Chains A and B, each alone.
Chain A
């Protein structure tokens, strides 16, 4: 994807004018817990957009072909398939309820007409096959059109059934269920570039699976201490390298990232590279340890960089340099002085995700008050936009928002105290090649596009 700057993909998030395209979801003020979107993911081509919610459902949107009568707008995303991926379960041994919330969805590269994706809740990963059926066979010999068996004595001639078109039907069926491999809560899954294996990570362990084999997995990372009382850090995210099938990274709650090479040993407890930025003593505070916890790690499409998200910032790391990130972008620094309040209302534990654009020239992440932020790595500019129903007119441009940290509030600025901390954007996704972004705001999914001039 690197260098794919030509065509319809100008670099950066800020030279563009972002416009509202669509919003999916109920308008109700009363949000049902089950409708809260918990993950968003484009597939490899960008034609399919999958969302998972807390109720265990997966909704897949498909991009329509471009409409000739509206050449100025790209194809819209419409519902393609909806299915219940996970159900609530009960672990009788531990007397624990297992939430059906979909933690992550990852698409597999398309190899035939069907689409495959992995979806996971806290304990179980499932491989789903989504296939289309648009033809129906007619003219059977042994049964009528309505399915009733014909009386054999009535059959006087043989005919060959013919395929007739029918209304498109999209079926989702679970092809593999990968269960019982995790003691702790699964936080990440990542498909390997070999398209045959994938990893799943929980708080203390990472397992390697083969897509065809469900009854066993290899444990490749185990950071559980012999004495649990000595536990100091947990795994928060993990991802395979986009091109090197032997390399993966995992982040920790202490703000460190470890890169592991599976060729070096079967158990990758010893890292090959260790990424950590020394703490700035002047910014040390009471809640430093919590806010340094990394909530998401993403490789760039090129595989040269990786990005990590902690509570207040996004950092871009060069894989060749371990002692500090090459870029640090402040997402909402004005919250640093409010950490105590954020601890009280549990917002300090929110896990924000981040994503790259196609050419790796821009990065995006969410914030509060339904704000999301984009950083252009080349121009060093950043912008804050809002996903709201008020800005929901078709092709309406999004106006950049500004948060006033304190003191005098200028016009059009919003003060920190007015931010709605219940409206948080944790999950965002960027189309792999085009400038189309999907932003999950609680139970609504917003789709924005750049203005095509």
Chain B
């Protein structure tokens, strides 16, 4: 499957179609949805090396990977939006639809992670782990050029920066960030390439500092459930709670610095809570269905 296949050309579908047309700005939004996985952890080691002046090949490779990243982000945001929107429709949450959306979100997340790893690793030392998601994307991997060309195509018509949605969200975010100093502080912390956004996976001094702040580290699965459990508890029972949680999570996703430089990876700080957010959102939705 070629990169262009899922790049989502806007011109594909006739104008009469419905659906959100906005796009996440750069990489700010979906920094998110990161879940520690062995795959990414393995790749981590090879990605540790410092940046050197990229050759043409490397930069092209990296560009493709970052395009993939952006696209995965877009799909993740879209999925979140759809999930949030689906509870507003008549008849309430549809279990099948929610399940499908969560599947897409997971795929997008995995894709995003693997693309991110690829974007930061040396092409001479391809991580076997990072390679594995590729066949999912486009088995004929030998056409990166075509894929890239197509992807730039796909990005151009890209569109509508989500002006209207971003502005209010951006306004909300300072307010929402306030009650969460931990989150904000993590956000300010590094966005160095070496981190690769996976600070949580590898014990480091910074990671440990974060750990003190808000007892969640990707590398410690035992703590994950704790974090996950918190939001669902709020969402038990009536849907208004779910709405609040979804709103908070959703704008938390939008929160992550629209001003981040496009080439830098999203601040790792942003990823963790939002990563939990997405997981917990799935759980929240699922629990809401239980209450259903």
Interface residues of A (CB under 8 A from B): 94-99, 122, 183-185, 203-204, 228-229, 231-234, 236, 253, 281-287, 289-290, 293, 336-347, 349, 416-422
A204 with B95: CB separation less than 8 A: yes
B8 with A231: CB separation less than 8 A: no
- Complex Cα–Cα for A347 and B16 (A): 12
Q: How many A-B contacts if CB must be within 8 Å?
A: 138
B19 with A345: CB separation less than 8 A: yes
Selected A-B contacts with CB under 8 Å, 8 pairs: A184-B95, A340-B8, A340-B12, A344-B17, A344-B78, A346-B19, A420-B14, A421-B17
Q: Which residue of A lies closest to B232 (CB)?
A: A229
Contact of A339 with B238 at beta-carbon distance under 8 Å, contacts A285-B136, A286-B136, A421-B13 already known:
no
A99 with B100: CB separation less than 8 A: no
B100 with A253: CB separation less than 8 A: yes
Query: Which residues from chain A contact B1 at a C-beta distance below 8 Å?
Result: 283-286
Within 8 Å by CB of A284, from B7, B111, B139, lies: B139
Q: Smallest Cβ distance from A110 to chain B, in angstroms?
A: 33
Q: Mark B69-102, 1 if CB is under 8 A from A, else 0.
A: 0000001001000100000001110111101100
In B1-51, which residues have CB < 8 Å from any A CB? 1-2, 4-14, 16-21
B99 with A234: CB separation less than 8 A: yes
Query: Which residues from chain B contact A284 at a C-beta distance below 8 Å?
Result: 1, 135-136, 139
B95 with A341: CB separation less than 8 A: no
Query: Which residues from chain A contact B291 at a C-beta distance below 8 Å?
Result: 94
Query: Which residues from chain B contact A233 at a C-beta distance below 8 Å?
Result: 99
Query: Which residues from chain B contact A236 at a C-beta distance below 8 Å?
Result: 96
Contact of A349 with B91 at beta-carbon distance under 8 Å, contacts A286-B6, A343-B104, A422-B14 already known:
no
Interface residues of B (CB under 8 A from A): 1-2, 4-14, 16-21, 75, 78, 82, 90-92, 94-97, 99-100, 103-104, 107-108, 111, 135-137, 139, 238-239, 282-283, 286-287, 289-292
Contact of A417 with B8 at beta-carbon distance under 8 Å, contacts A94-B291, A234-B96 already known:
no
Q: Of A282, A336, A337, A340, which is in contact with the most chain B CB atoms at under 10 Å from its CB? A: A340
Q: Which residue of A lies closest to B71 (CB)?
A: A340
Within 8 Å by CB of B13, from A94, A287, A345, A349, lies: A345
B100 with A344: CB separation less than 8 A: no
Query: Which residues from chain A contact B137 at a C-beta distance below 8 Å?
Result: 285-286
Q: Which residue of B lies closest to A344 (CB)?
A: B19
- Complex Cα–Cα for A168 and B20 (A): 51
Query: Which residues from chain A contact B286 at a C-beta distance below 8 Å?
Result: 228-229, 231
12 more A-B residue pairs beyond the given contacts A229-B283, A253-B99, A338-B13, with a C-beta to C-beta distance below 8 A: A94-B291, A98-B91, A228-B286, A234-B95, A284-B1, A286-B111, A290-B100, A293-B100, A336-B5, A344-B8, A417-B12, A420-B16
Query: Which residues from chain B contact A285 at a C-beta distance below 8 Å?
Result: 1, 5-6, 136-137
- Complex Cα–Cα for A409 and B286 (A): 46
- Complex Cα–Cα for A344 and B111 (A): 18
Query: Which residues from chain A contact B21 at a C-beta distance below 8 Å?
Result: 344
Q: Which residue of B lies closest to A420 (CB)?
A: B14
- Complex Cα–Cα for A346 and B108 (A): 17
- Complex Cα–Cα for A98 and B82 (A): 20
- Complex Cα–Cα for A226 and B287 (A): 12
Q: Which residue of B lies closest to A351 (CB)?
A: B96
- Complex Cα–Cα for A289 and B110 (A): 14
- Complex Cα–Cα for A418 and B135 (A): 30
Contact of A185 with B91 at beta-carbon distance under 8 Å, contacts A228-B286, A337-B5, A421-B13 already known:
yes
- Complex Cα–Cα for A426 and B289 (A): 27
Q: Smallest Cβ distance from B243 to chain A, in angstroms?
A: 11
Q: Smallest Cβ distance from B27 to chain A, in angstroms?
A: 19
Query: Which residues from chain B contact A98 at a C-beta distance below 8 Å?
Result: 91
Query: Which residues from chain A contact B287 at a C-beta distance below 8 Å?
Result: 228-229
Q: Of B21, B103, B238, B291, which is in contact with the most chain A CB atoms at under 10 Å from its CB? A: B103
Within 8 Å by CB of A228, from B18, B100, B289, lies: B289
Query: Which residues from chain A contact B18 at a C-beta distance below 8 Å?
Result: 345-346
- Complex Cα–Cα for A281 and B19 (A): 30
Q: Of A122, A336, A346, A417, which is in contact with the most chain B CB atoms at under 10 Å from its CB? A: A346
Contact of A95 with B238 at beta-carbon distance under 8 Å, contacts A286-B137, A289-B103, A340-B7 already known:
yes
B135 with A338: CB separation less than 8 A: no
Within 8 Å by CB of A341, from B8, B111, B135, lies: B8
- Complex Cα–Cα for A349 and B94 (A): 12
Query: Which residues from chain B contact A418 at a C-beta distance below 8 Å?
Result: 14
